[in-house]
């Protein structure tokens, strides 16, 4: 298993820390182009509640550094534009924003969270140009390969769209990281592991993966669904077992960027065990330690 922290230390020879930033983008699944309200698990912050939201990159990065000052002494960073869909909007504006960011001496990687249906040829050209300056990562929110689940969570694109976007990104030699959520309503263990198996068989090989447990957050459509008609949630032990099994399935070269995830505590409804991050990580690491 290749953990991101270890890979970055090997490549750069020092600690690299992620700064969560905002591009000012919205999402076609929110503004009415495809739908309103976004995916049912997504909060008003677009999964980026910790991002600093200021007009300039300089202000955002300074604020982000202040926020993590007590956690790390890192001097080099990944600029992570997380909230909403960061390749959706005026490409000229985005090109200027991202080039300003990636050319900073303290930024070694530009990482953009987005949807696979927001990667037109103009966007690919932008990514190609940026990737010639410094490495660019594109993080695709797949979550699941199960079409019934995708419809239930209002993802608003079929798996075929992901497959096309993936191939076009890899053709441009862009690093691709895929997000997966365990515990989505209606999915059993086999359904979740089918998603991992699918990703393990992608050609060209996937670069990285982020795995997290479903967070049911206040104000989301999923929270309304859950409170009205609760569906089963994974226990911490079940989740850790799934992560361990996923690592067994995935090729060794795929970098594990995340094995857990926690939304803002003020919004979290369930599962409550996510609040104890230390216990979550210890449980996952104990499960992984059992691997041959």
pLDDT at 47 over 80: no
Q: Residue 279 in contact with residue 273, Cβ under 8 Å?
A: yes
Predicted confidence (pLDDT) per residue in 108-155, tens digit = 999 999 999 999 999 999 999 999 999 999 999 999 999 999 999 999
Q: What distance in Å separates the CA atoms of residue 116 and residue 139, rounded to the nearest whole number?
A: 9
pLDDT of residue 44: 79
Residues of the chain with pLDDT > 90: what percent?
90
- How many CB atoms neighbour CB 147 within 10 A? 12
Residue 28's domain comprises 2-289
Question: First CA to last CA across the chain, in angstroms?
Answer: 12
Q: What distance in Å separates the CA atoms of residue 257 and residue 207, rounded to the nearest whole number?
A: 10
| Average pLDDT for the chain | 94
Per-residue HEC secondary structure of 112-142 comes to EEECCCCCCHHHHHHHHHHHCCCCEEEEEEE
Q: What distance in Å separates the CA atoms of residue 202 and residue 209, rounded to the nearest whole number?
A: 12
Q: Which residues pair with 216 in a beta bridge?
A: 270
pLDDT of residue 50: 44
pLDDT of residue 255: 98
Q: What is the CATH number of the domain that holds 140?
A: 3.20.20.70
Q: Residue 133 in contact with residue 124, Cβ under 8 Å?
A: no
Place of tokens 């209002």: 154
**pLDDT range class, residue 49, cuts 50, 70, 90:** very low
Domain count, the chain: 1
Q: Which helix (H) or strand (E) holds 243?
A: helix 236-249
Q: What distance in Å separates the CA atoms of residue 25 and residue 34, rounded to the nearest whole number?
A: 15
Q: Which helix (H) or strand (E) holds 81?
A: strand 76-81
Lowest mean pLDDT among 59-68, 202-211, 231-240, 242-251: 59-68
pLDDT of residue 51: 47
pLDDT of residue 132: 98
Q: What is the pTM of this model?
A: 0.95
pLDDT of residue 53: 52
């Amino acid at each position: 298993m290749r953990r991101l922290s270890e890979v970055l230390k090997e490549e750069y020879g020092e600690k690299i820390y992620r700064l969560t930033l905002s591009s000012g983008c919205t999402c076609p699944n929110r503004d009415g182009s495809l739908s309103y309200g976004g995916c049912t698990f997504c909060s008003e912050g677009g999964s980026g509640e910790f991002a600093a939201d200021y007009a300039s990159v300089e202000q955002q990065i300074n604020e982000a550094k202040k926020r993590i000052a007590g956690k790390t002494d890192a001097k080099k960073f990944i600029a992570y534009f997380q909230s909403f869909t960061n390749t959706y909007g005026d490409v000229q504006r985005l090109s200027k924003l991202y080039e300003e960011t990636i050319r900073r001496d303290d930024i070694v990687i530009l990482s953009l969270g987005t949807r696979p249906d927001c990667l037109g040829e103009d966007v690919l050209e932008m990514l190609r140009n940026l990737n010639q300056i410094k490495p660019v990562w594109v993080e695709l929110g797949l979550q699941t390969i199960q079409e019934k689940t995708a419809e239930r969570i209002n993802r608003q694109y079929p798996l075929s769209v992901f497959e096309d976007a993936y191939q076009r990104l890899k053709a441009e030699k862009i690093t691709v990281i895929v997000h997966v959520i365990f515990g989505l309503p209606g999915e059993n263990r086999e359904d979740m592991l089918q998603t991992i198996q699918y990703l393990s068989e992608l050609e060209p090989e996937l670069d990285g993966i982020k795995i997290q447990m479903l967070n049911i957050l206040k104000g989301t459509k999923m929270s309304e669904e859950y409170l009205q008609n609760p569906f089963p949630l994974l226990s911490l032990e079940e989740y850790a077992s799934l992560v361990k099994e996923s690592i067994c399935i995935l090729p060794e070269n795929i970098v594990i960027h995340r094995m857990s995830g926690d939304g803002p505590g003020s919004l979290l409804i369930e599962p409550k065990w996510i609040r104890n991050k230390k216990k979550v990580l210890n449980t996952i690491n104990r499960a992984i330690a059992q691997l041959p």
